[in-house]
């Protein structure tokens, strides 16, 4: 995997020391540990800073130059937001005096005084860099807290480094000094299942170096919410994954609306059953199920044309709706029914044999007898079959149930004709 990193492998220091001392001892000492950029005038110093501020780690300025023109150079650095992460250190060959303390008031972070030991000088410069970055980090964290999104950072162990918002999803004590830092999702979240999933996702990011985005449903404190998580890896200078930065957005309103549209797109408006689109998707997924056998019920309203011709299409629609009610009222909890045509229905009963499926049909017929539409009784023809396993041809099984149903419909029609002849 190719990993892109930014910045230099060796930190870069901008210096503005005594312009008359081209062999300043700092150049040799710093050169072992840093890339040193030398400026010989304030104008040159500020020009380099403007051009390269994004890859400069620190700046070192002579104590006397820093105080020239009412600390012009220091104030120019302090007043520019682009330079907030660059610490300015003051170098001096002479003993400090009280007036030199103004450098600290104008933004300098430390003094570098003799004797200059290489390892000590390196450590003091790096400490200043880290201190400035930490200050900038907390300033950034404070600004991020003003955003509605929740932004968090985790280390390479999946522990929180910071988080801009504490939500009611957290199982935390009523302690004003409590912090999320150093804790994992499992330790702090009320929804442990989602917490485990979050940590598993984080582990994949840390191992692969690839980010991800997903939406989770959270039900805590009686509140149903949907959160969108956008997670990306954080790389160090060597290209290693050192942590995860993420954004959490509350997308509850958007997700509920999307699900409502999805439901409408898969629901028959008249009966509330799944429509032909939902039926197709359900059938397509049947071979992947593990709850075979699956019973099939084919149902069709009897004499709907006669109802429409005699009572009108509004009554005909009610006839269809009540027929759907007779079908669904007898379905087991895991059963699914669909309106596949004008007055045609298909129901699936996972885990049921053919004999059990016929028992469900018997209950549908009992429900049918309890329903009536003024002077028009409800009459439905049923057919059954069963899908024995994933190797079955589902459409053939459905067709068989249809044939049984049409045979019963013909019998109902023949019986009705016989009654009219009497």
The arithmetic mean of pLDDT across residues 415-421, rounded, is 58
CA angle 330, 332, 334 (to 5 degrees): 140
Which of 278, 214, 275 minimizes the C-alpha distance to 249?
214
The arithmetic mean of pLDDT across residues 361-390, rounded, is 88
Residue 118 pLDDT: 81
pTM: 0.54
Residue 251 pLDDT: 92
Residue 143 pLDDT: 67
Structure-token pair, residue 202: 């984080």
Q: DSSP code of 377?
A: E
For residue 372, the surrounding DSSP H or E stretch is strand 372-373
pLDDT beyond 90 at 163: no
pLDDT beyond 80 at 121: yes
Residue partners of 31: CB distance under 8 A and separation at least 6: none
- List, for residues 202-254, the tens digit of each pLDDT value: 999 999 999 999 999 988 888 899 999 999 999 877 788 989 999 999 999 99
Q: What is the DSSP string of 30-41?
A: HHTTSEEEE-SS
Residue 164 pLDDT: 86
pLDDT beyond 80 at 116: no
pLDDT beyond 50 at 325: yes
Average pLDDT, the chain: 87
Coil, strand, or helix at residue 184?
Answer: coil
Residue 171 pLDDT: 85
Which of 70, 72, 61, 75 minimizes the C-alpha distance to 18?
61
pLDDT beyond 90 at 420: no
Measure the CA–CA gap between 148 and 144, rounded to whole angstroms: 9
Measure the CA–CA gap between 147 and 314, rounded to whole angstroms: 54
Q: DSSP code of 348?
A: E
Radius of gyration over every alpha carbon of the chain, rounded to an integer in angstroms: 38
The arithmetic mean of pLDDT across residues 280-303, rounded, is 92
Q: Give, rounded to a whole angstrom, the gap between the first and last alpha carbons of the chain.
A: 85
Residue 141 pLDDT: 67
Residue 332 pLDDT: 93
Residue 419 pLDDT: 57
pLDDT beyond 80 at 112: yes
Give the pLDDT band of residue 5 (cuts 50, 70, 90): very low
Give the pLDDT band of residue 71 (cuts 50, 70, 90): very high
pLDDT beyond 80 at 183: yes
Strand partners, 36: 13
Residue 172 pLDDT: 84
Cβ-contact 33, 117 below 8 angstroms: no
pLDDT beyond 90 at 369: no
Other CB atoms within a 10 A radius of the CB of residue 124 amount to 18
Coil, strand, or helix at residue 94?
Answer: coil
What's the burial of 126, exposed, middle or buried (CB within 10 Å: 0-12/13-18/19+)? middle
pLDDT beyond 80 at 7: no
Q: 338 or 309: whose pLDDT is higher?
A: 338
Q: 173 or 398: whose pLDDT is higher?
A: 398
pLDDT beyond 70 at 137: no
Measure the CA–CA gap between 81 and 420, rounded to whole angstroms: 94
Residue partners of 120: CB distance under 8 A and separation at least 6: none
């Amino acid at each position: 995997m190719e990993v892109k990193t930014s910045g230099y492998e060796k930190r870069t220091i901008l210096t503005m020391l005594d312009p008359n001392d081209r062999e300043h001892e700092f150049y040799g000492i710093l050169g072992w540990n840093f890339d040193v950029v030398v400026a010989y005038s304030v104008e040159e110093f500020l020009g380099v800073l403007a051009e390269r501020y994004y890859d400069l780690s620190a700046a070192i300025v002579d104590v006397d130059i820093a105080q020239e023109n009412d600390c012009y150079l220091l104030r120019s650095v302090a007043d520019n937001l682009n330079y907030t992460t660059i610490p300015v250190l003051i170098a001096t060959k002479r003993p400090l005096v009280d007036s030199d303390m103004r450098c600290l008031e104008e933004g300098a972070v430390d003094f570098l005084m003799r004797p200059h030991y290489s390892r000590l000088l390196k450590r003091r410069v790096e400490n200043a860099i880290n201190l400035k970055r930490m200050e900038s980090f907390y300033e950034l964290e404070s600004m991020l807290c003003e955003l509605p999104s929740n932004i968090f950072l985790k280390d390479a162990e999946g522990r929180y480094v910071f988080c801009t918002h504490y939500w009611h999803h957290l199982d935390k004590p009523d302690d004003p000094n409590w912090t999320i830092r150093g804790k994992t999702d499992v330790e702090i979240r009320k929804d442990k299942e989602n917490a485990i999933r979050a940590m598993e996702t984080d582990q994949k990011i840390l191992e692969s170096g690839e980010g991800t985005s997903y939406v989770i449903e959270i039900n805590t404190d009686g509140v149903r919410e949907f959160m969108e998580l956008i997670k990306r890896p954080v790389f160090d200078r060597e290209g290693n994954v050192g942590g995860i930065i993420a954004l959490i957005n509350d997308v509850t309103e958007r997700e509920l609306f999307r699900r409502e549209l999805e439901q409408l797109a898969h629901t028959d408006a008249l009966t509330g059953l799944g429509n032909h689109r939902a039926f197709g998707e359900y059938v397509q997924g049947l071979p992947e199920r593990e709850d075979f056998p699956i019973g099939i019920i084919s149902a069709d309203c009897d004499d709907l044309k006669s109802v429409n011709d005699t009572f009108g299409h509004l009554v005909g629609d009610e006839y269809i709706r009540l027929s759907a009610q007779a079908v669904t009222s007898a379905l087991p909890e895991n059963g699914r029914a669909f309106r596949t045509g004008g007055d045609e229905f298909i129901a699936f009963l996972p885990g049921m044999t053919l004999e059990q499926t016929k028992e469900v049909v018997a209950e549908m017929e009992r429900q049918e007898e309890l329903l009536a539409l003024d002077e028009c009784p409800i009459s439905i023809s049923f057919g059954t079959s069963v899908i024995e396993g994933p190797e079955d041809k589902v459409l053939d099984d459905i067709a068989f149930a249809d044939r049984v149903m049409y045979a019963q419909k013909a019998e109902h029609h023949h019986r009705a004709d016989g009654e009219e002849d009497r």
